[in-house]
Amino acid sequence: MLDRESTFADPEVIRLLTTFFVPVALDVWYEQRRQDAIGDFYREVVFQGPRGKTDATTQGRYCCTPEGRLLGYTNNRGAEPVRLLLQRTLKDLGRPSAGSAPASAAREAADPRFERRPPAGALTLDVHGKMLVGAEETEGAWRRVNLETVSRDHMWVRREELEALAAPGATEGTLVAVPESFARRLARFHLVDEIRGEPPMWLPEELLSVRMELRIESVRPDLVSARLTGEARLGTRAGDRTGEAAIAGRLAWRPDTREFTRFDLVARGPFRGEGTYNQGAPKPGFVLGVSFRLADGRTDDRVPPQGSRDLLDYLGPSLR
């Protein structure tokens, strides 16, 4: 999540982190479970915190030495508590240590269960979500979060899906079939409310309908352009979470290499409900907007999609 008053938009937090620290962002769901050197080191650090050894979540902000000694901790996402944590840590570094945690024993290989990497030839999209209408019905801090927060995620598009979309020999006006696996992945794992926290992903049976079509708009020797349109309807059996979205966008690729130069999509529509870890949604419902575009090659492009924790479910049976 990112909002205009977020912790990591605070100038002093930015200064302290970039001057005195090495910032690392981790998904604790992975790190608590992985049985390799990374997991060992992570658990050594966080178990020194106030929660001790626990099977519950270890989320929070931690400061530690490269040897694994915990220097400070807070689970408050506000800028001021994090600022104080960093300032305290720098001050305490000048004091004698009472001892340090033992360094993790080196293991040769990473735990393959928690190595989430896109399959060969896959394309990574940046995904951002925002509540466009409806947050006015909430109050206090939740109103500000709903109105100002923008979620961040990634979507992986498989090579086979890209090859189907960039159909060779297509002429202007041709309708190209959109792979069902691509349409279902987009709807199930990315038309979700990530505004305040981790949403429940839609189950296969909760994808009530999804339709997409791609029409070729222009064909040039160096570039093919197309327009994608569609819609999706989602809902739980109990009806406590529902969503409808119209989908539109433009794609472009080089016909000789079938390399995509543009992959811009927007989904927008009414949603209702919340999950255990993203509570605080407006009760009457809200309008959710989700955008998709080509990843820009930054370091955080390697962060796997939230929905890829069950990798086979996310990518589909081609992984078998």
pLDDT in tens, 204-230: 999 999 999 999 999 999 999 999 999
Please choose, from the candidates 113, 138, 101, the residue with its C-alpha nearest in 3D space to the C-alpha of residue 279: 138
Please choose, from the candidates 173, 191, 211, the residue with its C-alpha nearest in 3D space to the C-alpha of residue 273: 191
Domain residue ranges in the chain: 7-114, 123-319
Most confident by average pLDDT, 102-116, 266-280, 293-307:
266-280
For residue 267, the tally of other CB atoms under 10 A from its CB is: 25
pLDDT of amino acid 319: 43
Please check the confidence at residue 310 and state whether its pLDDT lies above 70.
Answer: yes
Please check the confidence at residue 3 and state whether its pLDDT lies above 50.
Answer: no
Please check the confidence at residue 112 and state whether its pLDDT lies above 70.
Answer: yes
Higher pLDDT, 207 or 98: 207
Q: How far apart are CA 135 and CA 121, in angstroms?
A: 39
Least trusted range by pLDDT, from 100-104, 154-158, 206-210, 293-297 = 100-104
Please choose, from the candidates 106, 215, 109, the residue with its C-alpha nearest in 3D space to the C-alpha of residue 171: 215
Q: Are 252 and 225 in contact (CB under 8 A)?
A: yes
pLDDT of amino acid 103: 52
Render the burial of 299-308: b for 16+ CB within 10 Å, e for the rest: eeeeebbbbb
Across 56-62, average pLDDT: 87
Please check the confidence at residue 318 and state whether its pLDDT lies above 90.
Answer: no
Please check the confidence at residue 166 and state whether its pLDDT lies above 80.
Answer: yes
| Residue positions counted in the chain | 320
End-to-end CA distance of the chain: 33
pLDDT of amino acid 124: 96
Q: How far apart are CA 269 and CA 289, in angstroms?
A: 7
Higher pLDDT, 235 or 111: 235
pLDDT in tens, 228-277: 999 999 999 999 999 999 999 999 999 999 999 999 999 999 999 999 98
Residue 104: which pLDDT band, with cuts at 50, 70 and 90?
A: low
Across 167-187, average pLDDT: 94
CA 259 vs CA 144, 181, 244, 278, 304: distances in Å: 40, 20, 31, 37, 22
DSSP line for the chain: -B-TT-GGG-HHHHHHHHHH-------HHHHHH--SHHHHHHHHHHTTSTT-S-SS---SEEEE-TTS-EEEEE---SHHHHHHHHHHHHHHTTSPPS--PPPPPP-SS--GGG---PPTT-EEEEEEEEEEESGGGS-HHHHHHHHH-EEEEEEEE-HHHHHHHS-TT--TT-EEEPPHHHHHHHHHHHSS--SSSPPPPPPGGGEEEEEEEEEEEEE-SS-EEEEEEEEEEEE-TTSSSEEEEEEEEEEEEETTTTEEEEEEEEEEEEEE---TTS----TT-EEEEEEEEE----GGGGSPPGGGGSHHHHH-GGG-
Residue 13: which pLDDT band, with cuts at 50, 70 and 90?
A: very high
pLDDT of amino acid 256: 93
Structure-token pair, residue 50? 């106030």
pLDDT of amino acid 248: 98
Q: What is the 3-state secondary structure (H, E, C) of 84-123?
A: HHHHHHHHHCCCCCCCCCCCCCCCCCCCHHHCCCCCCCCE
pLDDT of amino acid 320: 34
- pTM for the full model? 0.81
Structure-token pair, residue 286? 């809200």
Across 66-94, average pLDDT: 89
Tokens 């300032």 belong to which residue?
Answer: 87
Residue 191: which pLDDT band, with cuts at 50, 70 and 90?
A: very high
Which residues 6+ apart lie within 8 Å of 136 measured at CB? Answer: 143, 147, 282
Q: How far apart are CA 119 and CA 162, in angstroms?
A: 13
